[in-house]
């Protein structure tokens, strides 16, 4: 779709991303995490969350519907009124599937979730590409996103045996909300901060620049956040079962951190090294400026698994109050960094993302050290061999591609093969414990 459409088309959709993301954060309200963590959850708990999510979804859509003209005036883009009102419908469908996802996650049934997601992605992709080829422009993106949301939630219902009962419990709501509300506020702050860049770039730069940023961010986010999300969804319910055994919790947490970083660090370093041939091959040369942004964002997103798993531990220990405190501190620092880099242009803003990621790393690991005696220095010591190998591999690939005069597609293939051979071969020769653990897991499978 990006080969057919323009950066400005993606910039238009990116302008309303924050409003959709904030609304979705409020719909979840931290209830899914509260349900997963609660050991004695009941059908009344599930149904209470279900009806609450529907009420919030309807309310938020009405607010978004009425606010659409104001959003269009803010960006001086009249078309945003219609786009906002259509994409906002996704909130109603997403509110229907929160409990199903929580139940699947609790039972570690990720295969069913993957099946629903895959079906939705394939069919919605076909819809989006067909409309893009037919000349629908930005509406092809809108249709693709809406089709994906609707289909995924439909199949979650089809594959799930759970159905709500006609009961809403005030006591259940209060119990779940006492834990989930702090996660809701934390998630809301995090969502506002992450999407604040879209507002700022959309307001102070061109729609084309926002298109470059959103495409680069989606590439880096796919490689980092999605893989980390898999680790989180698998580990969270497991860690919750040993939340009272600090020694075992620390051991499992440490292994999880090392294995996830062993996979994601080289992915991000390799993505940064191959950014230019990747963008040129997949999106064509009209998107080539996004490669510069992608390289910087990859260095920032490299640390995402460390952030996420540290925060996951706070949830496991029931310290949603500390979770909220950390989010407030980090986001205040992030806003300051954004304000300082904004006058120097879009590339400087991206470097600010990296600076804030490193500062957040120190903050996130502070309470982990206090809770299970595994703080910043201990974690860096564990991760340093993987980090050093990943960066050295990425630099080697980038340098070799810089001196090769071949088409971008050929460079991309060479870079991927070279990176895999260098990284895996060195890890094997140096007997990395993470390498052995991953191979053992694959053999067991």
Query: Percent of the chain at pLDDT above 90?
Result: 23
Task: Give per-residue pLDDT as tens, 226-236.
Answer: 777 666 666 66
- Alpha carbon 303 to its chain centroid, in Å, reads 12
Other beta carbons less than 10 A from residue 286's beta carbon: 14
Quickly state the pLDDT bin for 298 (edges 50, 70, 90): very high
This model's pTM is above 0.85: no
Give the whole-angstrom CA distance, residue 373 versus residue 366: 10
pLDDT tens by residue, 208-217: 888 888 888 8
Reported as a single tens digit per residue, the pLDDT across 126-153 is: 999 999 999 888 899 999 989 998 998 8
Contact by Cβ (8 Å): 389, 348 = no
pLDDT at residue 445 is higher than 60: no
| Inter-residue contact 437 to 259 (CB < 8 Å) | yes
**How high is the pLDDT of residue 391?**
94
- Tell me the pLDDT tens digit for each residue of 412-440: 999 999 999 999 999 888 888 887 777 76
Nearest CA among 399, 239, 220 for reference residue 309: 239
What backbone torsions phi and psi does residue 243 show, to the nearest 5 degrees? -60, -20
Predicted local distance difference test score (pLDDT) of residue 242: 64
Supply the DSSP symbol for 168: -
The SS3 call for residue 335 is helix
What pLDDT is recorded for position 251? Answer: 76
- Residue 18 contacts residue 196 (beta carbons within 8 Å): yes
**Tens digits of residue pLDDT in 150-174:** 998 899 898 888 888 888 888 777 7
pLDDT at residue 414, as a whole number: 93
In terms of phi and psi (left: phi > 0; alpha: psi -120 to 50; beta: otherwise), the region of 432 is beta
pLDDT digits (tens, 9 = 90+) for 340-373: 999 998 999 999 999 988 888 888 787 776 777 7
- C-alpha distances in angstroms, 333 versus 104, 359, 360? 36, 8, 9
- The Cα 71–Cα 69 span in angstroms is 5
Residues 33 and 35: their CA atoms lie apart, in Å, by: 5
Q: For residue 287, give the DSSP letter.
A: G
pLDDT of amino acid 198: 78
């Amino acid at each position: 779709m990006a080969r057919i459409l323009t950066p400005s088309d993606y910039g238009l959709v990116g302008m309303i991303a924050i409003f959709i993301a904030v609304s979705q954060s409020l719909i979840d309200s931290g209830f899914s995490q509260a349900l997963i963590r609660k050991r004695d959850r009941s059908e009344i708990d599930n149904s209470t969350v279900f009806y609450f999510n529907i009420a919030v979804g309807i309310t938020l859509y009405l607010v978004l519907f009425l606010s659409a003209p104001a959003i269009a005036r803010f960006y001086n883009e009249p078309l945003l009124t219609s786009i906002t009102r259509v994409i906002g419908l996704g909130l109603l469908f997403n509110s229907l599937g929160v409990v199903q996802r929580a139940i699947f996650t609790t039972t570690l049934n990720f295969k069913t979730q993957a099946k629903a997601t895959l079906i939705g992605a394939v069919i919605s992709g076909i819809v989006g590409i067909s409309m893009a080829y037919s000349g629908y422009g930005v509406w092809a993106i809108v249709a693709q996103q809406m089709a994906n949301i609707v289909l995924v939630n439909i199949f979650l219902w089809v594959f799930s045996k759970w159905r709500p009962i006609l009961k809403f419990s005030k006591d259940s709501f209060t119990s779940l909300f006492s834990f989930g509300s702090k996660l809701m506020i934390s998630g809301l702050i995090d969502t506002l901060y992450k999407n604040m860049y879209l507002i700022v770039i959309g307001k102070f730069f061109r729609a084309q620049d926002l298109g470059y940023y959103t495409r680069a961010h989606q590439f880096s986010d796919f490689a980092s956040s999605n893989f980390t999300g898999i680790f989180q969804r698998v580990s969270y319910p497991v860690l919750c079962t040993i939340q009272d055994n600090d020694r075992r919790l620390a051991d499992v947490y440490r292994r999880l951190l090392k294995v996830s970083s062993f996979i994601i660090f080289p992915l991000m370093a390799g993505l940064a090294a191959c950014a230019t041939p990747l963008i040129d091959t997949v999106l064509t040369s009209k998107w080539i400026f996004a490669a510069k942004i992608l390289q910087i964002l990859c260095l920032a997103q490299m640390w995402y698994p460390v952030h996420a798993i540290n925060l996951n531990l706070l949830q496991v220990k029931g310290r949603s109050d500390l979770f909220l405190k950390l989010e407030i501190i980090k986001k205040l620092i992030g806003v300051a960094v954004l304000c300082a880099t904004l006058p120097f242009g879009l590339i400087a803003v991206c470097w600010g993302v990296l600076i804030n990621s490193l500062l957040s790393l120190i903050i996130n690991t502070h309470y982990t050290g206090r809770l299970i005696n595994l703080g910043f220095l201990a974690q860096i010591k564990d991760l340093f061999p993987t980090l050093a190998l990943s960066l050295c591999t990425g630099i080697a690939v980038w340098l070799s591609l810089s001196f090769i005069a071949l088409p971008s597609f050929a460079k991309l293939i060479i870079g991927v093969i070279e990176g895999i051979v260098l990284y895996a071969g060195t890890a094997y020769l140096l007997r990395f414990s993470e390498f052995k653990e991953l191979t053992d897991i694959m053999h067991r499978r």
